[in-house]
Chains A and B, each alone.
Chain A
């Protein structure tokens, strides 16, 4: 499968020269197997997928990790939602009392959005996920709740013997750099076990993390240690802090790599790049 990164920025979109290498669009990843595609998260990165030239399918599957704005902001501007001939399946985590539809409707309705969600012309089906396994075409998908404020899942997607794990927002252990010794106490462990590619939150440096405990994000150290523990073969750090320019990102990552020695590939996620698994 091909993994296309359409949005790698966390928190909010940016648009300036200093950020253009890693990109300013927020979370969105597309997985492609022949004519089959699924979309992970609907940050502003999804907007680029909205044209009919780019995306000729009539059925779309969008899997949301959670409903923070940087993961759904592009949904209302995803062009295919406005074609009545399109079928759009939106998956996302449920809460105990409020449905996913109702929670999405809080954003996709006035005054935050011009029209109510129910008036969007496309045929939208909302499907709630928990610790769930689902099959979409040739994609086998597992969702599990992970540590992040509000109901949040990560996704493990298997296709033709390859595994992509997507955990863009994750604070595996709060207020510490030390994860519990046993793997079964590690949030997200089953999702990332032996993944061929792990896309994981690494918003902060360890120094920055110390003043952002409980915000739900990882330092680069957390991400690398998590990848090491789970046996992931390739880690791409994502959910870049909007205040980190390309220069800062490259500098911090360079320093991190100078001080750590892991036996798997580590890189920074770049908007517009594509990885073949």
Chain B
């Protein structure tokens, strides 16, 4: 496999330094990396899972709206940022592996490099106030 684009590598270097959960996906939606704070949400370690395809990782979150309805992958901000190549944001509930439900807000943006090459997308997860 060829090395990732430099914009993706630098995104991971940044994600590595931040305390906010960050997910980085490739142009086809493959989850390439998630940082340590994101491991807390997923209840999985990147070293153990390695890369995950869209249908694998979108199921892990089990995202739900305020009424408890499951949100389909195409309505998730990260998938939107990927498909439309525009920033996207949204709030929803997820179940983390510890069995608890958390309300989170997600900001996602496409990673488009100097050559205007689309290399994937990055999502930052913010827990709602009061959540730990």
Contacts and interface: CB of A to CB of B under 8 A. Distances in A.
Interface of A: 93-96, 130-131, 144-147, 151, 173-175, 180, 183-190
A145 B114 contact: yes
Contact of B12 (A93, A175, A180, A188): A180
B9 A94 contact: no
B6 A130 contact: no
B13 interface: yes
Contacts, number: 47
A96 B4 CA distance: 19
Interface string B100-127: 0000000000000111110000000000
Given A145-B6, A147-B9, A173-B13, A184 B1 contact: yes
Contacts of B17: 175
A146 to B, nearest CB: 6
A185 B114 contact: no
Contacts of B3: 183-190
A187 B1 contact: no
12 contacts: A131-B115, A147-B6, A173-B13, A180-B12, A184-B2, A184-B3, A184-B4, A185-B4, A185-B9, A185-B33, A187-B3, A190-B3
Contacts of B33: 185
Contacts of A146: 6
Contact of A151 (B9, B13, B114, B116): B114
B6 A94 contact: no
